[in-house]
Amino acid sequence: MDLKIGFAPPMFAHEVALSTVFRAEKTKNGKLKKEACTELIFFDAVKKQSIARIVLPMSTLKALPKLIEDNIKKINLELKDKEPPKKTKVETKTTNASYVS
């Protein structure tokens, strides 16, 4: 996937909140169809306002912990290393989740 990360300007978030929305509806054959999504809200404490609201479907939400865990491991290794970073690295990983309508 070709990602254009330059489109979104970087913003520093001091806090994050999340909420989960559940929805249920009956199908034509009478069965109950349920779905959920989680909204992440990022806050800037200096400006005292939200700076982003991101809604995640279950497929992306399930992949997120692994991405964060891997990133924390890389950060910890780099911070323990006594050598200065040779070059600024820009790494992009995706959840590889696809949109299903």
Q: What pLDDT, in 10s, does the model give residues 4-50?
A: 767 778 888 999 999 999 999 999 999 999 999 999 999 998 889 99
Residue spans per domain, the chain:
5-80
Q: At residue 58, does pLDDT exceed 60? A: yes
CB atoms within 10 A of CB 67: 13
Task: Give the integer Cα–Cα distance in Å for 99 and 101.
Answer: 6
- Nearest CA-CA partner of 11 in 53, 51, 56: 51
On whether the 5-80 domain is CATH 3.10.450, my answer is yes
N-terminal to C-terminal alpha carbon distance within the chain: 19
Q: Tens digit of pLDDT for each residue in 88-99?
A: 656 666 666 554
